[in-house]
Structure 1
Amino acid sequence: MLPRSVSLGVFRVSLARGRARRCLNRRMANSDDSVLFGNRFLTMPAPSQTFPEQGMTATDAMRLVDVDLAMEGDPQRNLATFVTTWMEPEAQRLIVENLHRNFIDHAEYPISAEIEQRCVRMLADLFHAPGRTTGCRTQGSSEAIMLGALSLKWKWRQRRQASGLSADRPNLVFGGDVHVVWEKFCRYFDVEPRIVPLAEGKYTIGPQDVEPRIDENTIGVVAVLGTTFTGHKDDVVGIDALLRDVRTKRDLDIPIHVDGASGGFVWPFLYPDSTWDFRLEQVRSINVSGHKYGLVYPGIGWLVFREESDLVEDLVFYENYLGKTDATFTLNFSTGASMVLAQYYNFVRLGRQGYTYIMKMMQDNARALADNLRDSGRFEVIGSDLEQLPLVAFRLVGENAYDESDIAWQLSAERGWMVPAYTLPPNAERVKILRALVKETLSREQVDRLSQDIADACRTLDHKGATHGIERNQVKRGTGY
């Protein structure tokens, strides 16, 4: 026989369960079905045109947004984006716990400001800055590029004015392989863009492209490290040699800004002996996206200068209305501190060894995907024998009744993969390619599954033909890079 205390305990548990069951039954009898099975927006349109008169419960609001987001693609199968789609649980916790911190408020959050500068110093070391330097976090590489290019323009204007020359016709030289933000800068800040066109088989730029476009009004030359289109780099070494020669022979000091949005966190670990950074004399500033291969969620970018003097002092503002005098060099003001802290987390969590391991793992899987596509006999893989981001850029070869856009549509609509198809910039726009980012979460098993899905998509299209209105019956592709 059970002791009395145990019997009483069992009785109390049974009684409590009975009360809970009766309470549940009353709630079921007195409430509408939406409490149990969903919310009213299962049968009503979501608010979209006018500001709602009444609110709703937190659970209803969460369900409403979740139902909308369920229609989006799976970020883990998104091979189009360079942006990070996964972080460790510890990093996610750090982000969530610090979403309320306004990074710009250095008086209240001085440790966040110090951690930003730790990251800047670590990046300066990674990029071989020769001495004391400066830099800042940005909302992404777009803001970093705007700030870096503004400093190029103002430094050029200072040089011109010091020599008693006019400063009303600035120009900037870059290739057609740049991100659109460079054209935005030129339009927004009244700078003439001198764009080097690409060509089929030539998807980056070098000194021979730059030389005829520079003059006394050139504020700088942009070199890309890891292009959005094919993942390769411009000939930074050759451009640097050209500009050093121009400095000596023509007394024109034209700096280089390296757009390392994607490649700045790849080349130091995959190609440590490749020279592209502050080891080259004319490289004066570098931007990099922490939310790409820096392995942090969006949005975080970085701008690092070679020396403190490369940042024009007139672009720095001083204010004290947040409690202490602060220097600000940003286009944005208020922003969360979470991603700065997450970037620092990655730096100390991974170190050089960890970043190298992850980049090589992604590179190995990219090479496996490239081999699978090449071996299929259907595709040309573009430039996989060169220094390249962990991605595969590929295009159809031979005669086909469909093109790359049809394959992208098949992969998305029927197999759940997001693989972009696009044409290259002028004068290479006749070249259409597919591009698959191979990121940290894409395993070798998934690489093989993707390869099989691409093969299946092609077989489906062999039977039913194009779905995107190709004007000609046959699409012919070359085989040379």
Structure 2
Amino acid sequence: MPQKSMAKKTAYEKIREELKLDAKPKMNLASFVTTSMEEECNILMMESFNKNYVNMDEYPATTQLHNRCVNMIARLFNAEIGENENAIGTGTVGSSEAIMLAGLAFKKKWQNKLKAQGKPYHKPNIVTGANVQVCWEKFAMYFDVELRKVDVGEGYYVMDPTKAIEMVDENTICVAAILGSTYNGEFEDVKLLNDLLLQQNKKNGWDTPIHVDAASGGFVAPFLYPELEWDFRLPLVKSINVSGHKYGLVYAGIGWVIWRSKEDLPQELIFNINYLGADQPTFTLNFSKGSSQIIAQYYQLVHLGREGYQRVMEKCKENAMVVKQGLEKTGCFNILSKDNGVPLVAFSLKDTSHGDEFKISEMLRRLHGWVVPAYPMPSGAEHVNVLRAVVRAEFSREMAEKLVLDIENVLQELGKLGPKYTPKVTKIAKRKIIVRESNKHHKVLAA
């Protein structure tokens, strides 16, 4: 900390200049998190930055917006809620906190059941795929729960429900399914998992439930694949988390967790406080939390509605297809993502003799400003390296076409494209893009 103060203008300029070294958020295709919102929503957020959400008595209107968000999201996930009933759920800082809360609810309910039966209750476990996000590993470590991972395999990069069932025992507090794998965007088969688990529960007299980690896919599947059964339509799905700051279209800092019913959230986990001016319930890991992201989520839900969200998701899927088809035409990549998952493109090189996926990632960042991460697949397929481009709402058709051109440029630099390869001549906006071939590189000229 400096000994002396500096002028506010000077502090602003110094920090602003240093932040220019960051990547451009729109070109960060590693992130699922929203980086652009409408000006009206930005203003609402600015006007509410000074509100602490936990002060419900002082900010009752904000509390109402939060509760409406919970109800709308619960109904989006087909929760059975009466017209005048409220859903059981809460806003969180993100899906990581949401998963912690859901996991704690499962653990406590399992412990209560085994205590009542006079059985040991000190060795709980969760079954999930090796492709889980790190927050599940954090939950297992922080709250002393064994995490049983089902290895993936080459060509099948998500949890196999049949293998998951084999790992379930009477100490399994839940099986966690992922609707939108971080690695390749694929939806796991929650319906098959539910059906197999119903059979196993009936056979053994268990009641092992399912949690769906819909961090990425929770705001995608209802609009692109409404007939897909993955949510509360399946009887064993007891809780669902979703990231409002991903395809919920809000800046980073908001997630949601929804429970099927009151019976699925043990009441001893809910605390009542009265030292903020009124008696109020709370079930969160942290206490203070800004109101801005909650208000932004409400804005998006009421502004876009189902029609608007569907339009946005369809656009994302179309732009992902532009990238996928462009990469396929190079003949250099295997596409590892699925057309019916989260709008992203995961791809690996067919030939790494002239540079691998990590080299392509480095060159895209250094030469063109794109952040396209490279990483190995999880346990069971760790020998497969992947590049991934997440297509968010702010990723336009023009950006999709430019990304393909820049990847072609990198491939040419690495000698992966033959001298006779002719990239597609395309139009970006209303400008014609002319690509001239060179054995060394592409020259892209805008006319």
Partner of 1:448: 401
Distance 2:24 2:352 in 1: 33
Whether the aligned pair in 2 keeps the contact of 1:230 and 1:382 (CA below 8 Å) is yes
What does 1:360-375 align with in structure 2 at a 5 Å threshold? 360-375=314-329
Alignment partner of 1:97 is 2:47: yes
Matched, 1:147 2:90: no
Matched with 2:122 is 168
Residue from 53, 62, 70 that aligns with 2:20? 70
Q: Out of 395, 414, 417, which is 1:461 matched to? A: 414
**Could you tell me how far apart the structure 2 residues matched to 1:144 and 1:329 are?**
10
1: CA distance, partners of 2:106 / 2:96: 15
Question: How do residues 291-310 of structure 1 correspond to structure 2 at under 5 angstroms?
Answer: 291-310=245-264
In structure 2, distance between residues paired with 1:398 and 1:406: 13
Displacement of 1:228: 0.4
Moved over 4 A (4+): none
Deviation at 1:249, TM superposition (A): 1.5
Instruction: Give the partner amino acid of 1:108.
Output: E
Aligned counterparts of 2:412 and 2:404: Cα–Cα separation in 1: 13
1:81 matched to 2:31? The reply is yes
Supply the AA of the counterpart residue of 1:373: L
SS at match of 1:375: helix
**Aligned with 2:71 (options 97, 106, 121):** 121
1:394 aligns with 2:344: no
Residues 256 and 284 in structure 1, CA contact (< 8 A), matched pair in contact too: yes
| Matching residue's letter, 2:109 | K
Q: 2:281 matched to 1:333?
A: no
Q: Pick one of 356, 373, 378 that aligns with 1:425.
A: 378
Could you say what secondary structure the match of 1:53 adopts?
coil
Counterpart of 1:112 in structure 2 is 62
| 1:270 paired residue number | 224
| 1:243 shift after superposition | 1.5
Give identity over the alignment, percent: 46
Measure how far apart 1:399 and its partner are: 5.2
Which residue number in structure 2 is paired with residue 5 of structure 1? none
Matching residue's letter, 2:399: Q
What SS does the corresponding residue of 1:288 show, helix, strand or coil? Answer: strand
1:247, CA displacement in angstroms? 2.1
- The verdict on how the C-alpha distance between 1:432 and 1:209 changes in structure 2, with shifts beyond 3 A counting, is same
2:185 touches 2:338 (CA, 8 Å); kept in 1? no
Q: Does 1:312 align with 2:266?
A: yes
Q: Does 1:289 align with 2:243?
A: yes
Match of 2:166 in 1: 212
**CA displacement at 1:459 relative to structure 2:** 1.1
Structure 1 residue 400 displacement after superposition: 2.6
CA contact (8 A) 1:82 1:437 kept: yes
The residue number in structure 2 matching 1:193 is 147
Secondary structure at 1:265's aligned position in 2?
coil
Distance 1:273 1:197 in 2: 28
CA contact (8 A) 2:337 2:344 kept: no
Aligned 8 A contact 2:210 2:239 in 1: yes
Q: Once the 2 structures are TM-superposed, how far is the Cα of residue 207 of structure 1 from its aligned partner?
A: 2.2
SS in 1 for 2:115: helix
Q: Is the 8 A contact 1:246 1:253 kept in 2?
A: no
What TM-score do the two structures reach when normalised by structure 2? 0.91
Q: Deviations over 1:334-364 (max 9, x none)?
A: 0110100000000000000000000000100
Match of 1:47 in 2: none
SS of the residue 2:100 aligns to: helix
**1:437 maps to 2:387:** no
Q: Which residue of 2 aligns with 1:323?
A: 277
Amino acid at match of 1:117: N
Q: Secondary structure of the equivalent of 1:116? A: helix
CA–CA distance in 2 between the matches of 1:321 and 1:262?
37
Q: Which has the higher helix share?
A: 1
Deviations 1:370-429 (A, max 9, x none): 0010011111111434x2111000111135321001000110001111100100111111
Give 1 or 2 for the bigger CA radius of gyration. Answer: 1
CA distance in 2, matches of 1:175, 1:201: 15
Q: Distance in 2 between matches of 1:345 and 1:366?
A: 26
Q: Does the 8 Å contact 2:150/2:160 carry over to 1?
A: no
Tell me the distance in 2 between the aligned counterparts of 1:440 and 1:191.
Answer: 37
Q: CA deviation at 1:288?
A: 0.3
Root mean square deviation, CA, Å: 1.2
Deviations 1:232-277 (A, max 9, x none): 0111011101121122211100010000000000000111110000
**Preserved CA contact (<8 Å) 2:368 2:406:** yes
Please name the residue that 2:424 is paired with: none
Aligned to 2:330: 376
The AA in structure 2 aligned to 1:55 is S
Q: Is the 8 A contact 2:346 2:388 kept in 1?
A: yes
1:68 is paired with a residue whose SS is helix
1:293 is paired with a residue whose SS is coil
Deviation readout 1:54-102 (Å, 9 max, x if unpaired): 1111111110110110111111111110000000000000000100000
In the alignment, structure 1 residue 409 sits paired with structure 2 residue 362: yes
In structure 2, the partner of 1:26 is none
* 1:206 Cα deviation after fit: 2.9
The answer for the alignment partner of 2:419 in structure 1 is none
- Give 1:158 deviation, angstroms: 1.1
Instruction: Pick which of 454-463 and 273-282 moved more.
Output: 454-463
- How far, CA to CA, are the matches of 1:318 and 1:440 in structure 2? 39
What is the correspondence of 1:242-261 to structure 2 with a 5 Å cutoff? 242-261=196-215
Describe the SS at the equivalent of 1:414.
Answer: helix
Q: CA deviation digits over 1:122-179, x for unaligned, max 9?
A: 0110000123530000000000000000000001111111211110111110101110
- What secondary structure sits across from 1:398 in the alignment? coil
For structure 1, the 5+ residue unaligned runs are: 1-50, 464-481
Q: Distance between the aligned counterparts of 1:312 and 1:426, measured in 2?
A: 34
Which residue number corresponds to residue 478 of structure 1? none
AA paired with 1:457? V
Which segment is superposed worse, 223-232 or 396-405? Answer: 396-405
**Contact 2:320–2:345 at 8 Å: present in 1 too?**
yes
Secondary structure at 1:318 match in 2: strand
Matches of 2:159 and 2:28, distance apart in 1: 29
Report how many residues are paired. 413
